[in-house]
């Protein structure tokens, strides 16, 4: 399903592919001790979008193998490396489609490379590449209107081999060359949408504002009269005190002196 989505997107693209220049007559870019060993192209699981010219898997395998041989056969290193390419899907712009749609041809491949002497695969996972046709006066109105099927396949296969070469150039350590310098983390685009923290702005010095004495006028608030609440007085209970008996006073004894005769 992912391959079909890539192909469907490619059918509607108008200006994403760069103009093609045939560079096969120029000296190849340095690729260490690389020399092409096995050249394998497989199209057993190839998919095609409905709006496309029909092409057999044998035709695709032959076109891709020729493009790989033309490009990588120029290298004369001391060590053999095997290139395997799986043709995952394609869309060849058909003729007779209204110009307003302007469909484009597209090819999806997965590339792998092996060290022939060690019998070891160098890339842990296959490198999937989406290949578009180059921009030209012929393809601006849709290559299906100006090119036959063979020419479309030749162009896509050429671009596929060149894309594989660009991928291998990002791993010079596979071919006895020093690895590329690591890109600083700050300049690497975020794959997992991780935002780069922004440095906090430098503190700005603020001049102190002199205090201004402001007279405060206090207006007395008259106290509200508080109504007197009568306090009920509880009548005191008076208990009668019993009278104590008064003891009788003693009767005084009056002594009358005796009168004698003088």
Q: What pLDDT, on the 0 to 100 scale, is given for residue 9?
A: 55
| CATH fold for domain 2-13+30-176 | Double Stranded RNA Binding Domain (3.30.160)
Q: What pLDDT, on the 0 to 100 scale, is given for residue 142?
A: 47
pLDDT tens per residue, range 84-115: 999 999 999 888 655 445 678 999 999 999 99
Q: Taking the model in full, what pTM does it have? A: 0.62
d(CA 84, CA 111): 6
Residue 13's pLDDT band (boundaries 50, 70, 90)? Answer: very low
Q: What pLDDT, on the 0 to 100 scale, is given for residue 17?
A: 41
Residue 22's pLDDT band (boundaries 50, 70, 90)? Answer: confident
Q: What pLDDT, on the 0 to 100 scale, is given for residue 21?
A: 58
d(CA 63, CA 42): 11
Domain edges within the chain: 2-13+30-176
């Amino acid at each position: 399903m992912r391959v079909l989505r890539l192909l469907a997107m490619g059918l509607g693209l108008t200006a994403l592919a760069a103009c093609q220049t045939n560079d096969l007559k120029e000296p190849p870019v340095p690729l260490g001790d690389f020399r092409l060993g096995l050249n394998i192209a497989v199209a057993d699981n190839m998919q095609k979008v409905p709006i496309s010219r029909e092409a057999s898997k044998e035709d695709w395998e032959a076109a891709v193998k020729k493009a790989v041989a033309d490009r990588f056969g120029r290298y004369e290193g001391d060590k053999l490396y095997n290139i395997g390419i799986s043709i995952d899907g394609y869309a060849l712009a058909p003729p007779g489609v209204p110009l307003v749609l302007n469909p484009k041809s597209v090819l999806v491949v997965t590339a792998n490379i092996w060290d022939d002497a060690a019998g070891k695969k160098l890339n842990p996972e296959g490198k999937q590449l989406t290949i578009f046709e180059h921009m030209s006066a012929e393809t601006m109105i849709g290559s299906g209107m100006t090119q036959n099927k063979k020419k479309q396949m030749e162009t896509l296969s050429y671009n596929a081999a060149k894309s594989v070469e660009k991928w291998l150039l990002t791993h010079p350590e596979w071919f006895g060359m020093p690895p590329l310098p690591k890109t600083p983390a700050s300049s690497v685009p975020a794959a997992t949408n991780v935002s780069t923290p922004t440095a906090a702005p430098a503190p700005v010095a603020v001049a102190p504002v002199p205090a201004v004495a402001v007279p405060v006028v206090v207006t007395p608030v008259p106290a509200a009269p508080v109504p007197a609440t009568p306090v009920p007085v509880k009548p005191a209970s008076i208990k009668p005190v019993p009278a104590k008996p008064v003891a009788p006073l003693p009767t005084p004894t009056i002594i009358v002196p005796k009168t004698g005769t003088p």
